[in-house]
A and B are shown apart, each in its own frame.
Chain A
Amino acid sequence: MTQDQVKVELKESDVQKIKTICAEFDNNGGELINVLHKTQNTFGYLPAEVQEVVAQGLNVSVAKVYGVVTFYSYFTMIPKGEHPISLCTGTACYVRGADKVLDELKKVLEIEVGETTADGKFSINCLRCVGACGLAPVVMVGDKTYGRVAPEMIKGILEEYQ
């Protein structure tokens, strides 16, 4: 799934939810990033349609909202998988072989970084340092952390979620 393929039709209740979030921050354009954090927490991601409502609510241009969403890696325009996989690519994990683990993940799931599998089950993201360098390389599935991961372990880890 890529950014362009995501098309959403927002229900009236969703529009209201976004407007409420904007109102909580006094419809203040300076609070854009806080509003986006809260909106993403609510919807899981920030598709173009959602961004339009946010722009209206805060009285800023859609271009500004889009500019901010695409600037920060934490914001995503694609829904994450049911079990989002995050791979740490911090330096400690890199020197202990995170790239090989990533290659294996991509191979097994047949998706690239930032994409979600067609069945919506898994998505891959790269993080910069989880702070668990003693366990490098580190992979997170949802909230669960797997340490000292070797490429051979990937299939076993994924099977836990099948």
Chain B
Amino acid sequence: MAYKMHLLVCGGTGCQASESAALVENLKKELEEQQLDSFAQVVMTGCFGFCEKGPIVKIIPDNTFYTQVSPENAGVIVSEHVAKGRRVDYLLYKNPEDNTPIAESKNMNFYKKQIRIALRNCGIINPENIEEYIARDGYLALGKVFQELGAENTIQVLKDAGLRGRGGAGFPTAIKWELTRKNEADQKYVVCNADEGDPGAFMDRSILEGDPHAVIEAMAINGYCVGATKGLIYIRAEYPLAIQRLKIALNQARNYGLLGNDILGSGFDFDIELRYGAGAFVCGEETALIHSMEGFRGEPTLKPPYPAQSGYLNKPTNVNNVETLANVPVIINKGPEWFNQIGTEKSKGTKVFALAGKVNNVGLIEVPMGITLREVIFEIGGGIKNNKKFKAVQTGGPSGGCLTEKDLDISIDYENLIAAGSMMGSGGMIVMDEDDCMVDVAKYFLDFTVEESCGKCAPCRIGNKRLYELLDKITKGKGTKQDLEILQNLGGVIKDTSLCGLGQSSPNPVLSTMRNFEDEYHAHVHDHKCPSGVCKSLMTYEIIPDNCVGCTACVRVCPVGAITGNKKEVHLISAELCIKCGACMERCKFDAITVN
């Protein structure tokens, strides 16, 4: 049955957390009750990206884009929009500049500068229905590879397109494929790395949840090109929704003869198995990932031998990241020239970023390489929350660095970010404002690294722990000038001597903040002050006598009895007893308490 109208509801993790599943149920019920269920259908899609304003409902064909829709709004959408064709104005996105409603996403600043290639189907198709993927040219590229291109030409297409690995390091994808192809063996493997471990990055998960067939198709192409008949997807067990959608997609692909024996009559056999990660950041490193798939602790080993020579079960293995794979079918369909005119000289195409932190528009965005950080943060991101001042943006996760105001106009690509002291990484982009303490931020990332270090090599295992302790000491006001020197030296040693990428990049958050925010480190060490008011040990709460009316509210709320004073008299906080919980400040209605 052909429907005249489609109600697309975001079924990504973020929107599901805001009850989008209940919304879908209510919409279906309303359609039924108002006897419109043969006219319109409800489709649960993957992520639209605009997580800040979720749950999202998009109505096709008129492209109306409703934001922050609650299950209770189902009735009005159906009775007004579906039945009478009238837009429900109060559910539309409001332009933050003049508060006028914007009906279509293409007119929103958040979407204007985006180009969606890897996310092309997210928010458009139902990820649990292979026919919707096929209707959007799905599995066309696979057929083209079999019938027209052949393995070597396909690799050449990727080379001409200039596709580089999206997992972090940016190694040219075609070269990796070629190396694996050249190594003779009775069995080879292709692996999809879906062990997305960066805290604050969720692009791989969104692709798998929103468009799992894109990854499956690309893996089949990958297998054909390198001569592998087995594919493995290494995915975090913490991603239940992505796992469920992958399982559904794999079964559908098998039923359609797109996986299994003699795919599309090509004589090529290929199938994919899932392997579950168990929560270890280091397993994003390809040798560690391979050990984990073999049932061992996920510890990395020295390269060479590269996985292309000896990987899973000592056979040639080609590991690719989810986002990299998602680009492959489109490049084959549209041609390398189309792809390589997007982006910069050395970085082609687009990159997906998880834009989060203190920006107005948190979400998943896909932008052309070469866009500036300023455009991303202030146009797409809509600037800093609560009109605060921009301070830094952290890219590259625990391996990356913090960039500042002066870096806002560099155009984003692999080389430029490294030159600026950070890196592309898998695409986390966390924006920080004046209230964030950069020493504390560095400590946060080191805490992560210490926890996630596999322990195999000493520089990473012991060195990072020492870095953490030094930072902890500084945030407690006990740091010395010498500590700053040690931080610098030790950071350098860990980078130079660690075994794998984790240790080689783990000091970056410390070194980049020390370089860009030297004053803040000095303020902690020399003046025993935290300029952003984050480091508790360096704070003192005081009462401003002129503002205090003696209401005793703070006296009553203080959990340790550190505030004294009678009614209608000015109160006093004992610095010795105070545990700096801030309860008094929250309670005071007269702004009579300040932090120094």
Contact = CB atoms under 8 A, between A and B. Distances in A.
Interface stretch (A12-20, A116-124, A128-136): A128-136
Contacts, number: 122
Contact of A91 (B16, B199, B239, B362): B199
B202 A129 contact: yes
B200 interface: yes
Contact of B356 (A32, A71, A74, A91): A91
B92 interface: no
Given A33-B276, A129-B201, A74 B428 contact: no
Chain B interface bracket (under 10, 10 to 19, 20 to 34, 35 or more): 35 or more
Contacts of A50: none
Contact of B397 (A68, A73, A91, A94): A91
Given A68-B296, A73-B278, A74-B278, A95 B14 contact: no
A156 interface: no
A32 B202 contact: no
A29 interface: yes
Residue among A68, A75, A96, A129 having the largest count of chain B Cβ atoms under 10 Å: A129
Interface string A88-108: 011110111000000000000
Given A33-B278, A74-B237, A68 B297 contact: yes
Given A72-B278, A132-B13, A133-B200, A95 B295 contact: no
Interface string B284-327: 00000000111111100000000000000100000000000000
Contacts of A132: 13-14, 17, 51
Given A37-B278, A73-B278, A95 B436 contact: yes
A128 B294 contact: no
Contacts of A138: 17
A135 to B, nearest CB: 6
A131 B436 CA distance: 22
Interface in A34-48: 34, 36-37
A94 B444 contact: yes
B436 A135 contact: no
Residue among A73, A91, A92 having the largest count of chain B Cβ atoms under 10 Å: A91
A129 B204 CA distance: 12
Given A95-B436, A96-B358, A145 B281 contact: no
Nearest to A90: B199
A154 to B, nearest CB: 14
B278 A89 contact: no
A92 B358 CA distance: 8
B229 to A, nearest CB: 19
B430 A95 contact: yes
Interface residues of A, number: 35
A106 to B, nearest CB: 13
A31 B292 CA distance: 10
Contacts of A33: 275-276, 278, 292-293, 295
A72 B292 CA distance: 10
B198 interface: yes
B357 interface: yes
Interface string B427-442: 0101010001000010
B18 interface: yes
B14 to A, nearest CB: 4
Given A30-B294, A32-B295, A91 B278 contact: no
A21 interface: no
A134 B276 contact: no
A1 interface: no
Given A68-B297, A72-B278, A95-B432, A134 B205 contact: no
Contacts of B397: 91
Contacts of B198: 129
Contacts of A30: 294-295, 313
Nearest to A131: B202
A33 B430 CA distance: 33
B454 interface: yes
9 contacts: A33-B278, A33-B293, A75-B279, A91-B394, A128-B197, A130-B17, A133-B200, A136-B362, A147-B18
Interface of A: 29-34, 36-37, 67-68, 71-75, 89-92, 94-96, 127-136, 138, 145, 147
Interface of B: 12-14, 16-18, 51-54, 197-202, 205-206, 237-239, 275-281, 292-298, 313, 354, 356-358, 362-363, 394, 397, 428, 430, 432, 436, 441, 444, 448, 454
